[in-house]
């Protein structure tokens, strides 16, 4: 039976036609984020794969048993929009590996660095249950010994937006006009919270003190960061201030 061509290819008069460019406007591709020159980027010498094994149960007794066996009870989950979590997996990681990373990097810097996580049936197994990039979200250390008690990881695919407490690194103390006059640096914040695309999480943020004089301060809005990062705190919140000497200290020096 012959069917007219218009029936096979015709479109409803109520259907709208979009060009390729119009379709891109309606469904724009996700932006690709890369580190920019002049901004801190992770040091590759600290790149490491964190090994993990599945953990069937949770609870105080289970966690204590894991720690006695040289393992840290942990969890890995998703939070791709920076708010809603899901897809949780109970795991355990090696105590010696987490202790080494936290010791070498420092706690704040450990929590602002991406790692590769491999979940295996056993630590010495060649089979891989899950292989994923993660960001450590929390690490609980034992007081006195700094032994890791538990760790929380967030999966960090390229399209994810993650809340990160980024550590601050203060530079320029040696040339700061205020500090050269004998004033003191009052450090108010050591980390600042940003919503970061997973591909460009900064390992730290540089804070330039080189032009600060006595009585001057820097606020969060003064920090120089990648334009894709969104500040999650007030831009007027103080980060540091150059404090003048107390009258009593000046009198002691004059004697």
What DSSP assignment string belongs to 103-171?
A: HHH-HHHHTT--EEEEE-SSTT-S--SEEEEEEEEEEEE-TTT--EEEEEEEE--TT-EEEEEEEEEEE
What pLDDT does 81 receive?
A: 55
Structure tokens at 53: 């094994």
Contact 115, 50 (CB under 8 A): yes
Q: In what order do the strands lie in the sheet with 161-171?
A: 205-208, 161-171, 191-197, 230-231
The tens place of each residue's pLDDT in the chain, 255 residues long, gives: 444 444 444 444 444 444 544 444 444 455 577 888 888 888 888 889 999 999 988 889 999 999 999 999 999 998 655 555 678 899 999 999 999 999 999 999 999 999 999 999 999 999 999 999 999 999 999 998 889 999 999 999 999 999 999 999 999 999 999 999 999 999 999 999 999 999 999 999 999 999 999 999 999 999 999 999 999 999 999 999 999 865 345 445 555
Q: What sign does the dihedral 134-138-141-146 (CA atoms) show?
A: positive
As a 3-state breakdown, the chain gives helix, strand, coil percent values, each rounded to 5, of: 20, 35, 45
What pLDDT does 63 receive?
A: 92
Give the CA radius of gyration of the chain: 26
- Which residues belong to CATH 2.40.240.10 in the chain? 44-157
Three-class DSSP category at 219: strand
What pLDDT does 79 receive?
A: 66
Alpha-carbon distances, residue 21 vs 24, 25, 27, 28 (angstroms): 5, 7, 10, 10
What pLDDT does 254 receive?
A: 52
What pLDDT does 3 receive?
A: 46
Contact 139, 107 (CB under 8 A): yes
What pLDDT does 207 receive?
A: 97
Query: What is the CATH architecture of 163-250?
Result: Beta Complex (2.170)
Cα 40-238-240 angle, rounded to 5 deg: 65
The residue with tokens 């040289």 is 70
Three-class DSSP category at 212: coil
CATH fold group of domain 44-157: Ribosomal Protein L25; Chain P (2.40.240)
Residues in Cβ contact with 247 at an 8 Å cutoff, skipping those fewer than 6 apart:
none
The residue with tokens 């705190």 is 233
What pLDDT does 244 receive?
A: 83
- Which residues belong to CATH 2.170.120.20 in the chain? 163-250
What pLDDT does 23 receive?
A: 46
Rounded to the nearest 5°, which phi and psi values hold at 169? -120, 120
């Amino acid at each position: 039976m012959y069917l007219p061509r218009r029936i096979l290819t015709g479109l409803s008069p109520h259907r709208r036609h979009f060009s390729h460019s119009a379709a891109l406007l309606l469904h724009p591709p996700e932006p690709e984020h890369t580190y920019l020159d002049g901004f801190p980027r992770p040091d590759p010498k600290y790149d490491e794969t964190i090994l993990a094994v599945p953990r069937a149960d949770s609870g105080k007794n289970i966690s204590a048993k894991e720690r006695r066996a040289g393992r840290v009870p942990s969890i890995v989950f998703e939070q791709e929009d920076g708010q809603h979590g899901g897809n949780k997996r109970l795991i355990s990681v090696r105590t010696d590996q987490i202790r080494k990373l936290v010791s070498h990097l420092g706690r704040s810097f450990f929590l602002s660095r991406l790692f590769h996580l491999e979940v295996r049936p056993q630590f010495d197994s060649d089979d891989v249950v899950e292989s994923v990039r993660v960001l450590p979200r929390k690490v609980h250390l034992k007081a006195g010994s700094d032994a890791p008690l538990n760790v929380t990881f967030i999966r960090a695919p390229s399209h994810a937006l993650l809340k990160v407490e980024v550590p601050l690194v203060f530079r320029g103390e040696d040339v700061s006009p205020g500090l050269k006059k004998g004033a003191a640096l009052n450090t108010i914040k050591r980390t600042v919270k940003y919503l970061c695309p997973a591909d460009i999480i900064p390992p730290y943020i540089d804070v330039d003190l080189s032009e600060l004089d006595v009585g001057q301060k820097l606020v969060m809005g003064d920090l120089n960061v990648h334009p894709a990062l969104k500040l999650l705190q007030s831009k007027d919140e103080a980060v540091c201030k150059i404090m003048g000497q107390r009258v009593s200290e000046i009198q002691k020096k004059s004697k």
